[in-house]
Structure 1
Amino acid sequence: MFGKCKICGTGVGTINLTNGTCKLCLENGATNSTSDYSASKNISKIISFIGWVFVWIGAIIVIVGLVQSSEYGGFALLGFGLGTSVSGLFLVIAGQITRAIVDNASHTKEILQIIKQSYKNKST
């Protein structure tokens, strides 16, 4: 039987897990700090999802504009569709950047905890 550590995500045998945490994380005093930024992560996922919706809506508008390019307003639809798709891509990028910043802050916090724990171990 295999399981995953709920802190570091390492796949280990379930016999090596204590309350879902691997021995290495327990020894280093690592904690699951994802709850500190759960709202930011969820909001960034929503922003990325909305961005992808805009990209697909823009792509549909571009296709409609290409089909109706000979009629009046077809080229305007092309421009509008491309603008919508590009705006959607910017939203996706913003969501991913936010998620990267939150992950960086989470990992920095874990590194700080490990460093503090190693100094405690050295001083004793």
Structure 2
Amino acid sequence: MSDTTPTRVLHIDEHLYHKSAVLRTCYWFTDRCYIFVSRPSPGALDVEIRAKPDQPPAMLDVVAGEFANALLDYELRRQIDEQTGSIRELLIAKAVAQAGTLDDPPPGDASDSVELRQATHEGLVHISTRRS
């Protein structure tokens, strides 16, 4: 890429936006533009956005604005997950534990052929070629 390639640079304060939110946002924009991340100083990240060859340079302002909005979205999601993640994990673990207990074991065993299982066990749904 030449030095004349149009770019937009977003200067990001890591006290406001976590590095993982920045990188996640960058990843989701790689289909639309080229993204370069650097650390000009401790606590700061620069995200350079460059247009791909088939993109008009004017679209960079739109992409930069959408990038800023997406970054805010990912940072908020990260903070919510940080605050409520353990509750969500507990609820999922409880639901899986309850759903994972069977009163009766399933009929047959893993070595049964499909045809044998179909012949000896009626499932919840039966598909017939005859019309009733």
Q: TM-score, normalised by structure 1?
A: 0.29
Greater C-alpha Rg: 2
By percentage of residues, which structure has more strand?
2
